[in-house]
Amino acid sequence: MTKTTKSMVGGMTVLGITGIICKLIGVLFSIPLTMLIGADGQGIFQSVFPTYNLLLTVSSAGLPVAVSRMISHALAKDDPRRAKRVFSVALCLLAAIGCVFSICMFVASGSLAARVNQPETRIGFMVISPCVAIVCVLSAFRGFMQGQQNMVPTAVSQLIEQVGKVCIALPLAKIGTSRGVEYGAAGALLGITIVECLALLYMIFTYLRKRHAFDGLFQAEDAPIPSSRKIGTSLLRISIPITIGACIVPLASFIDSAMLVNRMMAAGLTIAEARPLYGLFSGLVIRLINIPTALALSISMSLVPAISAAAALNNTEGVRRQSNLGLRFAFLIGFPCSVGMSLLSRQLVSFFYAETLTAAEIQVTSELLSVSSLTVVLFTVVQATSAILQGLQKQRIPMYTLVAGVICKIALNYILVGTPGIHIHGGPIASLVCYTVSMLPNLYFVLKYSEMKPNWSGWLLRPGLATLCMGVAVYLLRAVLPLGRLWTILEVAVGVGVYLAAALAFNAITRDDFSSLRRSKRKKA
């Protein structure tokens, strides 16, 4: 492997491991939170979060990717002066945009609560609103570090966010619950705002500590001095299509937060029946799904600067190599996670929520998870292909493909969730269609613009055979072992062991991959 490839694999490893830890903490956070505020409180909590995510995505999704790409491009050309100017301009833009959206969310909290037909959510919208501005500024610092292919600060800040939720958000939720579940949900949301402040302080400290080393980088004397206006224009030109594309899924969740409950009521359920089902799906199932998708995000974060740097040097072979590696890891991670979570859906739900949910709620949640988990491989590939296209300055393509996917999702949600006997179970089916519609054209355009030949053996056949071996082993264990946390740990451990052994046997994972990871760890140490 080349030095750049090793750096990318190391970045994926750091972000991937940290991401899984963070998502596991997030699941563990949801257990006591559900015990404190109940499924009804989770429904309130999750009715606020899609709006927050949408505003956050609109304000901060595209610019950090653009920062990462422009900084890696500048550093590949030995122009740290431009890289620093890019960061300064982006920081000002993100701070200004974030403050505007925070104020809008606070002022419109009453209207937002009315939109989801739940007046209890108003205080939640108010306390989470400052978080938009905070995370916008935080994302500027993350983009600056990622542009240098240094993923450690981002990983540590993510850990601070998740650990802080447990230490700060849960106590505030407990305090609020004494006044009602809506105040418990608001307490948890206030805790998230406080935690993001702590993560931002860490990133500022890290930036100040590393600033002198960055200033010492070699500067090409013939590099032109860029104007702030020109950099700002370039940032917006790159980030707007990425932002629009990144907004599609949060927009769908935003629509779902009002649509799903109303459509379930149209299917014959009462609000008291529909809102807890929505809370189980969006608050528990999606949270479990987000554990393996953290690996997908680590791939995409590492791919953009690596491919952008190769493209800046007109290194076609480097672009092909990084693209192939990103797709290979996407399928390598996505296949076993989808199949394993689907087969062990009841075991996983019982593992985390046995003391929190009733038997009927566990049944519904495991049924939803068994289908929803199949989206993991699709989402992982969508993220990888989108990152490749963004690195190749084709950021409009994933925007269009996600639009097509989400239109299908909204239509199917409206039809299926509103059908008696299906109701909430239509949500996972709609998501499967959404990501399939997005993935297929993305793959086509990646092959076209990276000038890469399809590696179906490395992407599909070998990981697929290893996943089949794992699936057989897990299925047999599931058939003979009873429910229980220790048995679930055993089933997961055996599944992972069988998959790794089969992946090595079928050459889906190479020994060079492992040696690269070891060298990356030694380098970071």
Per-residue pLDDT reduced to its tens digit, 26-61: 667 777 887 888 877 877 887 887 778 777 776 666
User: pLDDT-derived band of residue 378, with 50, 70 and 90 as boundaries?
Assistant: very high
For residue 225, pLDDT over 50 is answered with yes
pLDDT at 293 over 90: no
Report whether pLDDT(243) > 80.
no
Angle, helix 286-312 to helix 359-372, in steps of 10 degrees: 20
Query: What whole-number distance in Å separates Cα of residue 262 and Cα of residue 274?
Result: 8
In a domain, 223, yes or no: no
Least confident of 74-83, 407-416, 443-452: 74-83
Q: What is the pLDDT of residue 521?
A: 43
What's the whole-number mean pLDDT along residues 167-171?
90
pTM of the model: 0.70
Note whether residue 483 is domain-resident.
yes
- Average pLDDT in the chain: 83
- Cα(142)–Cα(68) distance, integer angstroms: 8
In percent, how much of the chain has pLDDT > 90? 31
Range with the lowest mean pLDDT among 43-57, 153-167, 352-366, 492-506? 43-57
Contact 43, 264 (CB under 8 A): no
- 225: in domain: no
Q: Does 496 fall in a domain?
A: yes
Cα 374 from Cα 340, distance rounded (Å) = 9
Our count of domains for the chain comes to 1
Per-residue model confidence (pLDDT) at position 165: 84
Tell me, what's the pLDDT at 4? 52
pLDDT band at 460 (very low <50, low <70, confident <90, very high): very high
Range of the domain at 294: 3-213+230-524
Provide, for the chain, the percentages of residues in helix, strand and coil under a 3-state DSSP scheme, each rounded to the nearest 5.
85, 0, 15
Is residue 457 within a helix (H) or strand (E), and if so which, with residue range? none
Q: What is the pLDDT of residue 200?
A: 94
On the CB side of 390, CA atoms within 13 Å amount to 37
pLDDT value of residue 39: 72
pLDDT band at 252 (very low <50, low <70, confident <90, very high): low
Give me the mean pLDDT over the 245-273 stretch.
77
Give dist(CA 11, CA 154) in Å, integer.
10
In a domain, 345, yes or no: yes
* Amino acid 522: pLDDT: 44
Query: What is the structure's pLDDT at 520?
Result: 40
- Residue 215 tokens, joined: 């200033």
Q: Is 491 in contact with 347 (CB distance < 8 Å)?
A: yes
Provide, rounded to the nearest whole percent, the portion of the chain with pLDDT above 70.
87
245 contacts 402 by C-beta, under 8 angstroms: yes
d(CA 434, CA 416): 14
Q: Which residue has the higher pLDDT, 408 or 284?
A: 408
Say if 370 falls within a structural domain.
Answer: yes
Burial of 391 (0-12, 13-18, 19+ CB in 10 A): buried
Mean pLDDT on 190-219: 88
Average pLDDT on 82-94 reads 89
Give the pLDDT confidence score for residue 296 in this predicted structure. 65
Tokens 């809102």 belong to which residue? 275
* 224 falls within a domain: no
pLDDT score at 493: 94
When pLDDT is averaged across residues 252-262 and rounded to a whole number, the result is 74
**Residue 443 binned pLDDT confidence (cut-offs 50, 70, 90):** very high
Q: From residue 42, give the alpha-carbon distance in Å to each of 36, 135, 476, 524.
A: 10, 23, 35, 40
- 117 belongs to a structural domain: yes
Q: Return the higher-pLDDT residue of 494 and 267.
A: 494
Confidence (pLDDT) at 68: 82
**pLDDT beyond 80 at 351:** yes
